[in-house]
Protein backbone atom coordinates (compact mmCIF):
# COMPACT_ATOMS: atom_id res chain seq x y z
CA UNK A 1 0.00 0.00 0.00
CA UNK A 2 1.21 3.46 -0.91
CA UNK A 3 1.24 4.95 2.60
CA UNK A 4 2.31 1.92 4.63
CA UNK A 5 4.39 3.03 7.62
CA UNK A 6 3.22 6.63 7.41
CA UNK A 7 1.54 8.67 10.13
CA UNK A 8 -1.04 11.13 8.82
CA UNK A 9 -3.05 13.93 10.38
CA UNK A 10 -6.18 15.37 8.72
CA UNK A 11 -8.06 18.43 9.97
CA UNK A 12 -11.79 18.73 9.42
CA UNK A 13 -11.75 14.94 9.20
CA UNK A 14 -15.27 14.27 10.43
CA UNK A 15 -17.19 15.19 7.31
CA UNK A 16 -17.09 15.72 3.58
CA UNK A 17 -13.74 16.03 1.86
CA UNK A 18 -11.80 15.65 5.11
CA UNK A 19 -13.46 12.34 5.93
CA UNK A 20 -12.86 11.06 2.40
CA UNK A 21 -9.19 12.03 2.67
CA UNK A 22 -8.80 10.36 6.07
CA UNK A 23 -10.46 7.17 4.84
CA UNK A 24 -8.33 7.04 1.69
CA UNK A 25 -5.08 7.61 3.56
CA UNK A 26 -5.98 4.92 6.08
CA UNK A 27 -6.93 2.52 3.28
CA UNK A 28 -3.51 3.20 1.76
CA UNK A 29 -1.83 2.04 4.96
CA UNK A 30 -1.34 5.22 7.02
CA UNK A 31 -2.18 5.55 10.69
CA UNK A 32 -4.46 8.58 10.72
CA UNK A 33 -5.06 11.19 13.43
CA UNK A 34 -8.46 12.82 12.92
CA UNK A 35 -8.69 16.45 14.05
CA UNK A 36 -11.77 18.66 14.28
CA UNK A 37 -14.06 20.43 16.71
CA UNK A 38 -16.88 17.85 16.76
CA UNK A 39 -15.81 14.80 18.74
CA UNK A 40 -18.86 12.75 17.77
CA UNK A 41 -18.32 12.97 14.02
CA UNK A 42 -14.60 12.33 14.44
CA UNK A 43 -15.36 9.21 16.45
CA UNK A 44 -17.78 8.06 13.75
CA UNK A 45 -15.10 8.48 11.10
CA UNK A 46 -12.53 6.67 13.25
CA UNK A 47 -14.96 3.82 13.84
CA UNK A 48 -15.67 3.49 10.11
CA UNK A 49 -11.94 3.40 9.32
CA UNK A 50 -11.26 0.77 11.97
CA UNK A 51 -14.21 -1.30 10.74
CA UNK A 52 -12.57 -1.33 7.32
CA UNK A 53 -9.30 -2.58 8.78
CA UNK A 54 -7.52 0.76 9.05
CA UNK A 55 -5.95 2.60 11.97
CA UNK A 56 -7.39 5.91 13.14
CA UNK A 57 -7.98 7.86 16.31
CA UNK A 58 -9.97 11.02 17.02
CA UNK A 59 -8.20 14.05 18.50
CA UNK A 60 -10.78 16.83 18.99
CA UNK A 61 -9.36 20.36 18.78
CA UNK A 62 -10.04 23.75 17.26
CA UNK A 63 -7.34 24.58 14.70
CA UNK A 64 -7.54 28.24 15.76
CA UNK A 65 -6.23 27.31 19.21
CA UNK A 66 -2.47 26.91 18.76
CA UNK A 67 -1.93 25.43 22.21
CA UNK A 68 -4.64 22.84 21.55
CA UNK A 69 -3.11 22.02 18.17
CA UNK A 70 0.29 21.52 19.77
CA UNK A 71 -1.22 19.19 22.39
CA UNK A 72 -3.05 17.19 19.72
CA UNK A 73 0.05 16.74 17.59
CA UNK A 74 2.04 15.63 20.62
CA UNK A 75 -0.70 13.14 21.51
CA UNK A 76 -0.98 11.85 17.95
CA UNK A 77 2.78 11.33 17.71
CA UNK A 78 2.81 9.60 21.08
CA UNK A 79 0.11 7.23 19.82
CA UNK A 80 1.33 6.60 16.27
CA UNK A 81 4.86 7.98 15.86
CA UNK A 82 6.24 11.03 14.08
CA UNK A 83 3.96 12.68 11.55
CA UNK A 84 4.88 12.17 7.91
CA UNK A 85 1.77 13.62 6.23
CA UNK A 86 -0.44 16.53 7.31
CA UNK A 87 -3.56 17.62 5.43
CA UNK A 88 -5.01 21.02 6.28
CA UNK A 89 -8.63 20.61 5.21
CA UNK A 90 -10.68 22.35 7.95
CA UNK A 91 -12.45 25.35 6.41
CA UNK A 92 -15.22 27.89 6.87
CA UNK A 93 -17.47 29.74 4.42
CA UNK A 94 -20.17 31.64 6.31
CA UNK A 95 -19.88 35.22 5.06
CA UNK A 96 -21.86 35.43 1.81
CA UNK A 97 -22.63 38.75 0.17
CA UNK A 98 -21.15 42.25 -0.24
CA UNK A 99 -18.71 43.18 2.53
CA UNK A 100 -20.96 46.05 3.63
CA UNK A 101 -23.73 43.56 4.37
CA UNK A 102 -21.99 40.49 5.79
CA UNK A 103 -21.36 39.97 9.49
CA UNK A 104 -17.77 41.19 10.03
CA UNK A 105 -17.18 38.47 12.62
CA UNK A 106 -18.23 35.76 10.16
CA UNK A 107 -16.04 37.25 7.42
CA UNK A 108 -13.03 37.24 9.71
CA UNK A 109 -13.84 33.75 10.98
CA UNK A 110 -13.67 32.49 7.39
CA UNK A 111 -10.25 34.09 6.94
CA UNK A 112 -8.92 32.86 10.27
CA UNK A 113 -10.14 29.29 9.90
CA UNK A 114 -8.91 28.96 6.33
CA UNK A 115 -5.55 30.64 6.80
CA UNK A 116 -4.62 30.84 10.46
CA UNK A 117 -5.72 27.23 10.96
CA UNK A 118 -3.22 25.83 8.43
CA UNK A 119 -0.58 28.17 9.85
CA UNK A 120 -1.13 26.80 13.37
CA UNK A 121 -1.09 23.17 12.28
CA UNK A 122 1.93 23.62 10.03
CA UNK A 123 3.82 25.55 12.69
CA UNK A 124 3.21 22.81 15.23
CA UNK A 125 4.01 19.93 12.88
CA UNK A 126 7.08 21.30 11.11
CA UNK A 127 9.68 21.15 13.91
CA UNK A 128 9.34 17.38 14.17
CA UNK A 129 9.33 16.93 10.41
CA UNK A 130 12.44 19.09 10.08
CA UNK A 131 14.20 17.15 12.82
CA UNK A 132 13.45 13.91 11.00
CA UNK A 133 14.30 15.43 7.61
CA UNK A 134 11.09 14.27 5.97
CA UNK A 135 7.41 15.06 5.75
CA UNK A 136 4.68 16.45 3.53
CA UNK A 137 1.98 19.03 4.19
CA UNK A 138 -1.09 19.47 1.97
CA UNK A 139 -3.16 22.67 2.12
CA UNK A 140 -6.63 22.54 0.54
CA UNK A 141 -7.44 25.63 -1.47
CA UNK A 142 -10.60 26.34 -3.47
CA UNK A 143 -12.84 29.02 -4.94
CA UNK A 144 -11.13 32.40 -5.19
CA UNK A 145 -7.61 30.98 -5.12
CA UNK A 146 -6.72 32.19 -8.59
CA UNK A 147 -9.58 34.53 -9.50
CA UNK A 148 -12.15 36.92 -8.07
CA UNK A 149 -14.93 35.44 -5.93
CA UNK A 150 -17.77 37.99 -5.80
CA UNK A 151 -19.88 37.66 -2.64
CA UNK A 152 -17.40 35.17 -1.23
CA UNK A 153 -14.58 37.59 -0.51
CA UNK A 154 -13.62 36.21 2.90
CA UNK A 155 -13.37 32.64 1.64
CA UNK A 156 -11.69 33.63 -1.63
CA UNK A 157 -9.21 35.98 0.03
CA UNK A 158 -8.21 33.33 2.55
CA UNK A 159 -7.74 30.64 -0.10
CA UNK A 160 -5.64 32.96 -2.28
CA UNK A 161 -3.57 33.71 0.81
CA UNK A 162 -3.25 30.01 1.55
CA UNK A 163 -1.78 29.39 -1.90
CA UNK A 164 0.81 32.13 -1.37
CA UNK A 165 1.48 30.71 2.12
CA UNK A 166 2.08 27.31 0.51
CA UNK A 167 4.46 28.79 -2.04
CA UNK A 168 6.35 30.80 0.58
CA UNK A 169 6.71 27.93 3.03
CA UNK A 170 7.67 25.62 0.18
CA UNK A 171 10.54 27.90 -0.79
CA UNK A 172 11.57 28.20 2.85
CA UNK A 173 11.70 24.40 3.17
CA UNK A 174 13.83 23.83 0.08
CA UNK A 175 16.58 21.32 0.79
CA UNK A 176 15.16 20.17 4.13
CA UNK A 177 13.38 17.02 2.93
CA UNK A 178 10.01 18.49 3.98
CA UNK A 179 7.59 19.49 1.24
CA UNK A 180 4.34 21.42 1.07
CA UNK A 181 1.60 21.36 -1.57
CA UNK A 182 -1.71 23.07 -2.34
CA UNK A 183 -4.61 20.88 -3.48
CA UNK A 184 -7.72 22.18 -5.24
CA UNK A 185 -10.52 19.59 -4.87
CA UNK A 186 -12.87 21.30 -7.33
CA UNK A 187 -16.57 21.91 -6.64
CA UNK A 188 -17.65 19.19 -4.22
CA UNK A 189 -21.15 18.85 -2.73
CA UNK A 190 -20.60 19.02 1.04
CA UNK A 191 -22.22 20.52 4.11
CA UNK A 192 -20.49 23.78 3.24
CA UNK A 193 -22.13 23.92 -0.18
CA UNK A 194 -25.47 22.92 1.38
CA UNK A 195 -25.24 26.14 3.39
CA UNK A 196 -24.63 28.06 0.18
CA UNK A 197 -27.63 26.37 -1.43
CA UNK A 198 -30.05 26.66 1.48
CA UNK A 199 -29.24 29.91 3.30
CA UNK A 200 -31.03 33.11 2.32
CA UNK A 201 -27.70 34.79 1.58
CA UNK A 202 -26.51 31.88 -0.54
CA UNK A 203 -29.71 31.79 -2.56
CA UNK A 204 -29.51 35.52 -3.15
CA UNK A 205 -25.82 35.97 -3.85
CA UNK A 206 -24.55 32.56 -5.02
CA UNK A 207 -27.36 31.21 -7.26
CA UNK A 208 -24.75 29.86 -9.69
CA UNK A 209 -23.80 27.12 -7.20
CA UNK A 210 -27.16 25.40 -7.64
CA UNK A 211 -26.92 25.81 -11.42
CA UNK A 212 -23.46 24.23 -11.46
CA UNK A 213 -24.76 21.21 -9.55
CA UNK A 214 -27.80 21.03 -11.86
CA UNK A 215 -25.38 21.00 -14.78
CA UNK A 216 -23.62 18.00 -13.29
CA UNK A 217 -20.49 19.80 -12.12
CA UNK A 218 -19.91 17.92 -8.89
CA UNK A 219 -16.46 16.46 -8.26
CA UNK A 220 -16.62 13.47 -5.89
CA UNK A 221 -14.58 13.97 -2.70
CA UNK A 222 -12.78 10.73 -3.47
CA UNK A 223 -10.79 12.53 -6.17
CA UNK A 224 -9.16 14.89 -3.68
CA UNK A 225 -8.70 11.91 -1.37
CA UNK A 226 -6.96 9.88 -4.07
CA UNK A 227 -4.74 12.83 -4.94
CA UNK A 228 -3.78 13.27 -1.29
CA UNK A 229 -2.59 9.65 -1.23
CA UNK A 230 -0.53 10.20 -4.38
CA UNK A 231 1.04 13.32 -2.87
CA UNK A 232 1.74 11.46 0.36
CA UNK A 233 3.41 8.65 -1.58
CA UNK A 234 5.95 11.07 -3.05
CA UNK A 235 4.66 10.84 -6.60
CA UNK A 236 4.49 14.62 -7.00
CA UNK A 237 7.49 15.68 -4.93
CA UNK A 238 8.99 17.51 -7.90
CA UNK A 239 5.93 19.77 -7.85
CA UNK A 240 6.28 20.79 -4.20
CA UNK A 241 5.14 24.32 -3.50
CA UNK A 242 2.57 24.29 -6.29
CA UNK A 243 -1.17 23.81 -6.63
CA UNK A 244 -2.39 20.44 -7.87
CA UNK A 245 -5.95 20.15 -9.17
CA UNK A 246 -8.16 17.12 -8.76
CA UNK A 247 -11.13 18.78 -10.43
CA UNK A 248 -10.77 16.95 -13.74
CA UNK A 249 -11.49 13.72 -11.93
CA UNK A 250 -8.66 11.77 -13.51
CA UNK A 251 -5.10 11.69 -12.20
CA UNK A 252 -3.88 10.88 -15.70
CA UNK A 253 -5.07 14.32 -16.78
CA UNK A 254 -4.07 16.13 -13.59
CA UNK A 255 -3.03 19.71 -14.22
CA UNK A 256 -0.74 21.95 -12.22
CA UNK A 257 -1.16 25.69 -12.73
CA UNK A 258 -2.74 24.91 -16.09
CA UNK A 259 -0.04 22.48 -17.26
CA UNK A 260 -0.29 18.67 -17.41
CA UNK A 261 1.37 17.13 -14.36
CA UNK A 262 1.39 13.47 -15.38
CA UNK A 263 4.94 12.18 -15.64
CA UNK A 264 6.50 15.07 -13.72
CA UNK A 265 6.11 13.49 -10.28
CA UNK A 266 8.08 10.65 -8.81
The residues annotated as belonging to the active site are: 155
Measured between alpha carbons, how far is 247 from 263 in angstroms, rounded to an integer?
18
DSSP 246: -
Main-chain phi, psi angles of 36, to 5 degrees: 175, 175
The CA distance from 81 to 242, in Å, is: 28
Strands 243-245 and 255-256: antiparallel
137 sits in which H/E element: strand 135-140
How far does Cα 51 stand from its chain's mean position? 24
CA distance 136 to 164: 17
The answer for residues whose C-beta is within 8 angstroms of residue 131's C-beta and 6 or more apart is none
Amino acid sequence: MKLTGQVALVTGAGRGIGRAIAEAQAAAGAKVALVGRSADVLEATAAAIRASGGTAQAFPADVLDLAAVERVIAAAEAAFGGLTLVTNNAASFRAIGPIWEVDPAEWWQDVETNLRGPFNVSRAALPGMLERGAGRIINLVGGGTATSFPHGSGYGTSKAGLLRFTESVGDTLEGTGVKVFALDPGLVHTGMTDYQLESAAGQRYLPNIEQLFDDGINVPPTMAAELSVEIGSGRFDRLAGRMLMAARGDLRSLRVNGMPAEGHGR
